[in-house]
Amino acid sequence: VIKMSDLNLAGKRVLIREDLNVPVKDGKVTSDARIRASLPTIKMAAEAGAKVMLMSHLGRPTEGEYAEEFSLAPVAADLSAKLGKEVRIIKDYLGGDFEVAEGEVVLLENVRFNVGEKKNDEALSKQYAALCDVYVMDAFGTAHRAQASTHGAGAFAETACAGPLLAAELEALGKALNNPARPMVAIVGGSKVSTKLTVLESLSEKVDQLVVGGGIANTFIEAAGYNVGKSLSESDLVPTCKKLNEIMEARGAAIPLASDVVCGKEFSETAAAETKNVSEVADDDMIFDIGPDSADELATIIKNAGTVVWNGPVGVFEFDQFGEGTKAISMAIAESSAFSIAGGGDTLAAIDKYDIADKVSYISTGGGAFLEFLEGKKLPAVEMLEKAAAK
């Protein structure tokens, strides 16, 4: 693909699709990780003398209707503070009836207010494309969506290229997934096997150790013939878990099962935590974390790894008494010399809580996009950029 850093942007109208879909509360941005990640791209374009137009979605508003709660205004304010200069927000931009100075940065209002954005409408895509000389796709977090601002705009733009953030994400994730230093360990946590089944299937073909956690692990524990009591478990997927185990074993790889677990009788912040052997879970127990022996075993696996891919906590870490397993994993990743990548909202929250952000080799800005990458899917925005480079 063509890279933004290879182009001369001076005096050009440059339209950059970022993923500035950040949490907002009471008109304020509450987590600015995605904004911080996009800053180097924005600064690079502005410093090159481009007329910079940023575009992004925020949330999932009703198409064709302006709604203040989905306005990017709080993001514009945050960006203004970070850049030390005003970032104007432009509401009516589709007709191109606005001026941007060289070196200036403006933010176009939420693209999902536009009719046709989500269905990648051709007419809307052409309107976006007409705003610019160069279209930059930098929104890794939305690269799995074939929508007008992430796909169509680039397909119709005079020049379409990958921004530095998108390029860096693709490189880091590609290195971990396609050319991993071994042993390669993946940690997949989360509540359900069903929502991560394609990720598990794809990783089962690649990794040396597939560590499952959270509700996902419960179904594997059930598949191993143990009682999981009242734990979240998808009994109908027990055969699927057995199959995944077989695939891994046939390759000389493994899905390590927890030898001990931490149980509670209710899902609450004050629930008492009880550590048990995995064979001793009672009918009224709920498994909320891996136990200390299992945490030690996983820490050893992680410390000896060449590559670690992490998506999803292994316990209910928002309650401290069920957070030790996720904490142990975080610490092991921090201490490991393995090339580590992590992504997904809950994972980022755990990384924040245990303060290991600067110890992870690469933290993805993607949630759904990160998962689709792990699934081995080709991201539509990347396909568009490849086509654009070939023409």
Q: C-beta of 184: minimal distance to ligand 3PG in Å?
A: 25
Residue 117: CB minimum distance to ligand 3PG, A: 11
Angle at 314 between CA 173 and CA 198, to 5 degrees: 50
Q: How far is the CB of 139 from ligand 3PG (least distance, A)?
A: 8
Q: 74: which DSSP letter?
A: H
Short-list 101, 68, 61, 97, CA closest to 85: 101
In the complex with ligand 3PG, which residue's Cβ is closer, 112 or 206? 112
Residue 306 or 368 with smaller CB distance to ligand 3PG: 368
Active-site hit among 118, 126, 192, 377: 192
- Is 164 within 8 Å of 138 (Cβ atoms)? yes
Whose Cβ is closer to ligand 3PG: residue 21's or residue 114's? Answer: 21
Q: Which one of the listed residues 17, 34, 51, 112 is annotated catalytic?
A: 34
Tell me the closest approach of the beta carbon of residue 266 to ligand 3PG, in angstroms: 31
**Annotated catalytic residue 192:** yes
Amino acid residing at 65: E
**CB distance 294 to 324 below 8 Å:** no
Please calculate the CA angle 92-98-104 and round it to the nearest 5 degrees: 115
Backbone Cα Rg of the chain: 23
Amino acid code (one letter) for 185: V
Cα gap 294→256, rounded to integer Å = 9
d(CA 83, CA 42): 9
385: which 2 tokens? Answer: 């950029």
Quote the least distance from Cβ 19 to ligand 3PG, whole Å.
Answer: 5
d(CA 70, CA 113): 9
Distance CA 199, CA 169 (A): 18
> Is 368 among the residues known to form the active site?
yes
Nearer to ligand 3PG, 339 or 370 (CB): 370
Residue 377's alpha-carbon distances to 15, 147, 160, 174, 225, in angstroms, are 26, 17, 21, 12, 33
Task: Give the phi and the psi of residue 355 in degrees, each rounded to 5.
Answer: 55, 50
Instruction: Tell me whether residue 193 or residue 348 sits nearer to ligand 3PG (CB atom).
Output: 348
- Bridging pattern class, strands 274-277 and 209-212: unpaired
Whats the size of the chain, residue-wise? 391
Which CB sits closer to ligand 3PG, 209 or 364? 364
Shortest Cβ 86–ligand 3PG spacing (Å): 25
Residue by residue, DSSP assigns 209-245 as EEEE-HHHHHHHHHHTT---TTS---GGGHHHHHHHH
**Closest separation in Å from C-beta 141 to ligand 3PG:** 4
Tell me which of 59, 103, 368, 376 is the catalytic residue.
368
Interior angle at CA 141, CA 140 and CA 142, nearest 5: 90
Q: Which of residues 338 and 342 has its CB atom nearest to ligand 3PG in the complex?
A: 342
Closest distance of CB 366 from ligand 3PG, Å = 7
Binding site for ligand 3PG (CB under 6 A): 19, 21, 60, 141-142, 145, 367-368
- Select 33 or 271, whichever has its Cβ closest to ligand 3PG: 33
Out of 11, 60, 345, 378, which one is annotated catalytic?
345
Catalytic site residues? 34, 192, 345, 368
